[in-house]
Structure 1
């Protein structure tokens, strides 16, 4: 694993996250390409970053290089308004992992952890 990890809080363009950054797919792909070309091989994201848009950008950007990249994602914060859309229950975490896998377009997550 590389000493540096690329964070993706600034990817996606949901209005709530815009003050933190709003990289679209093309800009996100460029940033990820630069990081990977510089030797960074781990990308950190979360299901709640721009309500999943960051994971979608990461998935699209690494689609042809998935075996060369470690992907970390996390869950616990709200991703919706429902009673089961937040927290660390088995139900919520299972749904979060399944949704992250779909958005990332992959069959595995290398590191999954809970927001504090």
Structure 2
């Protein structure tokens, strides 16, 4: 696998990453994309790692957070071997601060993602949209 420097981050990332929007399928929108569960997700993660792909991308909105939970379980025991990318912006609740790019929402969204991913850090955290 070819790796490249990611800007000034210090990270070397593979030219290919693995997206996890198909993990979960907990609502009609994401079910149409797929409904990959933990066992299959673990198999896919291992296939990626065998091929040198160690960057896994997810988002809080994917299956209402279930994608992050499944990815966290699939990566159990592998955290030091992978790069996790996640995103936030879209609504994760009905309250006025449950969406957007405010400091309040992004900190809460990141904290919630950390819990779902069962990790204490996310390597790349970025905006999934804009207000």
Under a length normalisation based on structure 2, what TM-score does the superposition of the two structures give?
0.85
Q: How many residues align?
A: 116
* Rg (Cα) greater in structure: 2
Structure 2: distance between partners of 1:4 and 1:13:
23
Higher relative contact order structure (alpha carbons within 8 Å, sequence separation ≥ 6)? 1
> Which structure features the higher share of helix residues?
1
Q: Structure 1 residues 13-22 or 61-70, which shifts more?
A: 13-22
Alignment of 1:62-101 (within 5 A): 62-101=75-114
**RMSD between aligned alpha carbons?**
0.8
Identify which range, 79-88 or 64-73, moves more after superposition: 79-88
The normalised TM-score by structure 1 is 0.96
Gaps of 5+ in 2: 1-12
Name the residue aligned to 1:31: 44
| Structure 1 unaligned residues grouped into runs of 5+ | none
